[in-house]
Amino acid sequence: MYELKGCGLRNARDISYANIKKNLLVRSEALNKLTPEEAKILAEKYNIKIVIDLRTDEEIKKKDIEIPNAKYYHIPLISHQEFGLSHEKNADKDMVKQKRIPDLKVLYPYLVKEDKSGPWKQIFDILINNEEGAILWHCTAGKDRCGIVSAIIEYALGLSDEEVMYDYLYTNKHKVFPVRYRILSWFLFKHEVRRRFRNIFIAKKEYLESALNYIKDVYGNIETFLYEVCGVSDDDLDTLRDKYTEEEARI
């Protein structure tokens, strides 16, 4: 794993853990604040050829800055009405004003339900058919939706529970709690509510585990989830591992 440097992105890293090849799979926060120079770095230094934007229709009003020669796919995992799962601007404001704080242990499983099959199939279709260079996927902060997508991809490529969790929790090395909401929470919330509000901006083990436990309870295992929801066959898994993992490290 290495963090992307010089591109102006927080929480941006190549997920080349364990046997995953370098310079092919990248996760990050949204690209809407990039400068043209930073976008050029992503194209030339990091060879980003495909961008998968997981944000809602409302969020993409703040459009990604175009990376030269990269293809763009908008694949929202949630809708604007399901704002409690996201960090989109209007949702955060509404949440602060109304003091409605989502329980991410309840909301994370929502991203891996059967009715999310369409987006998951699109994501894996892109991964399977990619022949161009590196793929970058992002939400707003690069924590929740991006974290779930990263975890499922890593499992598909054969990473262990420990390796997947390490990548998920690595997000906490970056500050994804907006300062404006941190300050506002001091004025609006009592201590316990303020703590709960802060926690939605932290990657916590129990959040990801809630989605993984849902997968285990409903589908039995990750492999069945990949087959039934993501549309990934055994041949597709072979293709993915041929593309994105080092052969000598495969089992």
Domains of the chain and any CATH numbers: 2-249 (3.90.190.10)
Residue 246: pLDDT band with limits 50, 70, 90? very high
Segment 176-187 shows an average pLDDT of 50
pTM given for the model: 0.86
> For 186-202, how does the pLDDT look when each residue is reduced to its tens digit (9 = 90+)?
455 555 555 565 667 78
State the chain's mean pLDDT as an integer.
Answer: 86
Task: Note the pLDDT of residue 105.
Answer: 87
Segment 48-63 shows an average pLDDT of 93
Dihedral angle of Cα 229, 59, 61, 51, to the nearest 10 degrees: -50
Residue 209 has pLDDT above 50, yes or no: yes
Direct distance between the N- and C-terminal alpha carbons of the chain, in angstroms, rounded to an integer: 20
Task: Note the pLDDT of residue 82.
Answer: 67
What share of the chain in percent tops pLDDT 70?
79
Counting Cβ atoms within 10 Å, is residue 60 exposed (0-12), middle (13-18) or buried (19+)? middle
Residue 247: pLDDT band with limits 50, 70, 90? confident
> For 69-102, how does the pLDDT look when each residue is reduced to its tens digit (9 = 90+)?
999 999 999 876 665 544 444 444 444 444 456 6
Tokens 């030269």 sit at which residue? 68
Question: Could you give the C-alpha distances from 95 to 50, 52, 87, 158, 167, in angstroms and in order?
Answer: 33, 26, 10, 38, 28
**162 compared with 197, residue with greater pLDDT:** 162
Counting Cβ atoms within 10 Å, is residue 80 exposed (0-12), middle (13-18) or buried (19+)? middle
Q: How many C-beta neighbours within 10 Å does residue 195 have?
A: 12
- Token couple for 48: 């980003």
Residue 122 has pLDDT above 90, yes or no: yes
- Token couple for 70: 């990269």
Pairing label, strands 25-28, 13-14: antiparallel
